[in-house]
Chains A and B, each alone.
Chain A
């Protein structure tokens, strides 16, 4: 990226960016403090942002605390990724009317709304790129996803602070956003380093008429992002995947993790890439009209593997194995890359703190069940 494409926007001038987006018809959504976490909500003024807060995340634990600084983006992330903006948690697909001896199905396309998300983290941008691949670049392009995605403008904020649960550096998805954003910001001490990643982003950037970024700005940003990567304590070694995990399907560790897993599905709900969904039919009281809608589903539910009278994956062990094998191994065969972007949400939001960066190495270690040799304990 050459330096002309980057600018320096004074921290105090962030409102100008909000105004420029507002002028283009965007509703701006950013992180806001709600019930002890940050969630995506409409942001009108920069003061709506969680200034002075930071999040502390650990396995099974999320807390906001005062940071003692006045950083605008001191909170790394909340439970929501970018996923709900394009893959709606509940999406009506069709309205179906029954007539005398027939029926009529009419697609219920979502209203096109222009939404600018301010403060998307690089891991979440990588998750969005993955979801685009799944929903838009297969045999069929999903028209509902497409309609929502069309109106989405993504302002990434590169990370200069890592959580204890972060491991994006080892997944190659952060702490700097590489692609998939319209604008990317790096919050420095007095300015944001700002760069455009799309024609729409360039248009907004040029309207802002920011000063060019100085070499010092660029170097400071690189150095802080680099330090953020270095500071990550968790990592995932994916070099032996997918094969090694396929070979570990009978490993004793699955029983061990299944004894801890509650099958609550939290990990799949907070995951930026999980795409399972279920379709439900809801007739109204007249019995003449039904809504056909899809909702997020999870491979941890009883019903996920149900087929006429039997459940393919009856135990929690089967379901955890399904999830982890899909996320880290079969995803590579299906989509050419890992299904994990290293955001760490599944670790934080797991009520019992199951940590896939611990589970994977344990599963890839010599199995005590299948590969046991005579004479070994």
Chain B
């Protein structure tokens, strides 16, 4: 993926250059989660910027640093870039203090997203857990904008508690799409919860799939993919038809800083979306 045009004094593209952006909207998703709608300050940068669903940006806060965040917004509208961020680390906690009008920086987009062109015509099963649904939201929107080009769509989403269910209106809207099922589950339900109770892999039993024409897109806690993918394979979906979006410490976004390695892969440039059969042997291992 070519980055937007950036030049240094020496006229060599500088992948480290941070472009200023403004928070145009902040949407509260939960106590510690917000969606930040960003817009590049420089109009030329704004116009040249394109991304694919599943790619990420390095989001920068002055005086604090950068963090890799997937882009959740629609790739058809690259003017505004949505990033859903949970305040868990040094940078994300500082970002949580910001308000509309405040400045952030962006480098990107980086990495390889979901293979949406290659899986045209297929039935799609999307399996997500918690905030892990964020990197796949753009892919779902992409598919529904081209609804006739894809087969049946099944969205299976699991949360720990009903309180953790983000993008509620989006799930409701997706449910209304033709030939689409949306199944939700919560580990710990409350009185308001009228969906399934349990872990997301239990939802597999509630959907009928034609394994030969099905592609699975998975994103969430690593354990969900580690345990979930073999179940899908058990249902007859080939390992080569399962894609997972993975997360590691990332500082450069271009495969140079070395932190995001998983086996032979740099997840920032070979991923974050990886075909399951390529990473299966590394996913199951502690300390790798």
- Interface contact A107-B9, CB-CB below 8 Å: yes
Decide yes or no whether B102 CB sits under 8 A from chain A.
yes
Shortest Cβ distance from A311 into chain B, in angstroms? 9
Q: How far is the CA of A237 from the CA of B43 in the complex (A)?
A: 56
Contacts of A142 in B (CB 8 A): 15, 256
Decide yes or no whether B127 CB sits under 8 A from chain A.
no
- Interface contact A290-B8, CB-CB below 8 Å: no
Contacts of B263 in A (CB 8 A): 246, 330, 333
- Interface contact A98-B8, CB-CB below 8 Å: no
The interface centre, meaning the residue of B41, B63, B65 with most chain A CB atoms within 10 A of its CB, is B63
Q: How far is the CA of A96 from the CA of B62 in the complex (A)?
A: 8
Shortest Cβ distance from A1 into chain B, in angstroms? 33
Shortest Cβ distance from B141 into chain A, in angstroms? 26
* Given A96-B62, A309-B88, A318-B287: A102 and B257 interface contact (C-beta under 8 Å): no
Closest to A309 in B: B88
Decide yes or no whether A287 CB sits under 8 A from chain B.
yes
* Contact residue among B22, B63, B101 (Cβ-Cβ distance under 8 Å from A283): B63
- Interface contact A249-B63, CB-CB below 8 Å: no
- Interface contact B102-A101, CB-CB below 8 Å: yes
- Interface contact A98-B19, CB-CB below 8 Å: no
0/1 string, A83-112, CB within 8 A of B gives 1:
000000000011010100111110101000
The interface centre, meaning the residue of B14, B252, B266, B281 with most chain A CB atoms within 10 A of its CB, is B14
* Contact residue among B88, B249, B261 (Cβ-Cβ distance under 8 Å from A330): B261
- Interface contact B249-A305, CB-CB below 8 Å: yes
- Interface contact B287-A98, CB-CB below 8 Å: no
Q: Which of A40-48, A133-141, A172-180, A198-206 has 4 or more CB atoms under 8 Å from chain B?
A: A133-141
Contacts of B261 in A (CB 8 A): 322, 326, 330
- Interface contact A304-B101, CB-CB below 8 Å: no
Shortest Cβ distance from A245 into chain B, in angstroms? 11
- Interface contact A103-B248, CB-CB below 8 Å: no
- Interface contact B287-A314, CB-CB below 8 Å: yes
Contacts of B285 in A (CB 8 A): 249
Decide yes or no whether B247 CB sits under 8 A from chain A.
yes
Contacts of A297 in B (CB 8 A): 257-259
Q: How far is the CA of A334 from the CA of B103 in the complex (A)?
A: 37
Q: Which of A119-127, A272-280, A342-350 has 4 or more CB atoms under 8 Å from chain B?
A: A272-280
Q: How far is the CA of A294 from the CA of B9 in the complex (A)?
A: 19
Shortest Cβ distance from A103 into chain B, in angstroms? 5
- Interface contact A143-B12, CB-CB below 8 Å: yes
Decide yes or no whether A50 CB sits under 8 A from chain B.
no
- Interface contact B66-A279, CB-CB below 8 Å: yes
- Interface contact B287-A140, CB-CB below 8 Å: no
- Interface contact A292-B18, CB-CB below 8 Å: yes
* Contact residue among B10, B17, B88 (Cβ-Cβ distance under 8 Å from A147): B10
Q: How far is the CA of A103 from the CA of B42 in the complex (A)?
A: 11
Q: How far is the CA of A314 from the CA of B13 in the complex (A)?
A: 36
Decide yes or no whether B208 CB sits under 8 A from chain A.
no
CB<8 Å pairs between A and B, sample of 10: A96-B18, A101-B102, A102-B103, A107-B14, A143-B8, A246-B281, A277-B252, A297-B259, A304-B259, A312-B249
Given A102-B41, A279-B66, A292-B18, 4 extra CB contacts under 8 A: A94-B18, A275-B256, A294-B257, A334-B266
Give me the 7 closest cross-chain CB pairs, A-B, nearest first: A276-B258, A318-B287, A333-B264, A308-B88, A283-B63, A330-B264, A105-B18
